[in-house]
Amino acid sequence: MIPVGRLLWAGGAVLCVLFIVSLAVGPAPLSFENLVQSARSGEAGADWVILTEIRLPRTLLALLIGMGLGLAGAALQGLLRNPLADPGVIGVSSLSALGAVIAFYTGLSALVPLALPMAAILFSLVGVIALEGLAGRGGALSLILAGVALSSLAGALTSLALTLSPNPYASLEIVFWMLGSLNDRSMEHVVLAAPFMICGAALLALAAPALNALTLGEAAAASLGVDLRRTRRLVIAGASLCVGASVAVSGVIGFVGLLAPHLMRPLVGHGPARLLPASALAGGCLLAASDILVRLIAPTADLKLGVVTALIGAPLFLYLALRARTEAAS
């Protein structure tokens, strides 16, 4: 195990590098001279606009959403004591997308912009509560089954909502909601999502010590004086805020909440108090790197982010499933 402090410093450094690389990558070549000139004269040239209004919001969102999803994944895995509990895998992200789709395509969010993240968060909340009630104590299999059912239901209803929109372009946009993208997002999206995600992260941080105790089992945690109901509420609310706000502006980006904690566990151990900040950093790095990769593979084609995260995440998921099988057999 690596000291968490050192790991966080290293993670922070990687995050900074990715931040700068992400600002530098895009279909249009930027001239450093023009940027310096714009910064000096205060007159926004095309290069400056590209940097500050296209690449900066995209990069900020990649970092924020990656951190939020990593954090939510780690917290849900701690609460449900199930290593497969990723918001994408268990259908919570799909439900958020349904909420966002309803708020957006009915025109509600055009009138009240806050309706977009609020609806996504509300649906996410319903999803987490339903899953916790249905399958929270039923072991890995029942959680995944409930998640599969929830995902397909949410996917079907999303498709229905998009088909019912009179706007002819709506039905093509299911790809965005199912696979996620940060293409051409603006600062408005950052402002819309960030406050909710920060609140969610704060709630999850409050729950971390109790989650640590919960690794010993519910009875043992209760005997240590942990308020289980409070912990459950904090995690459900925190995860919903993080997942809902991110899905509202980027669509469903799967596997980040699964990958980040699993990559970090060998380094920091299983205790959620140590795992949560490490997962957040890993998630941020992962999504920023994926978003850079997306732009390098197909600079002008808007390859969906979920494609890249699934290419990395699905093999890991399969590996976990296999390991679970061999463990069950032995």
173 vs 206 by CB, closer to other proteins: 173
Q: Residue 100 half-sphere exposure, CB side, CA atoms within 13 Å?
A: 30
**Cβ(210)–Cβ(227) below 8 Å:** yes
Least spacing, CB of residue 299 vs other proteins, in Å: 7
184 vs 227 by CB, closer to other proteins: 184
111 vs 329 by CB, closer to other proteins: 111
Least spacing, CB of residue 155 vs other proteins, in Å: 17
Site residues (vs other proteins, CB under 8 A): 26-28, 44-47, 49-50, 53-54, 104-107, 109-110, 165-170, 172-173, 176, 184, 186-188, 299-301
**Cβ(260)–Cβ(285) below 8 Å:** no
188 vs 218 by CB, closer to other proteins: 188
In whole angstroms, give the CA distance from residue 164 to residue 174.
Answer: 12
Least spacing, CB of residue 136 vs other proteins, in Å: 35
In whole angstroms, give the CA distance from residue 118 to residue 103.
Answer: 9
Least spacing, CB of residue 47 vs other proteins, in Å: 8
Least spacing, CB of residue 110 vs other proteins, in Å: 5
265 vs 295 by CB, closer to other proteins: 295
In whole angstroms, give the CA distance from residue 139 to residue 256.
Answer: 22
194 vs 282 by CB, closer to other proteins: 194
Least spacing, CB of residue 297 vs other proteins, in Å: 14
Note the Cα 6 to chain centre separation in Å: 24
DSSP, residue by residue, 72-86: HHHHHHHHHT-TT--
Contacts of 325 (CB under 8 A, 6+ apart): none
3-state secondary structure at position 66: helix
**Cβ(85)–Cβ(143) below 8 Å:** yes
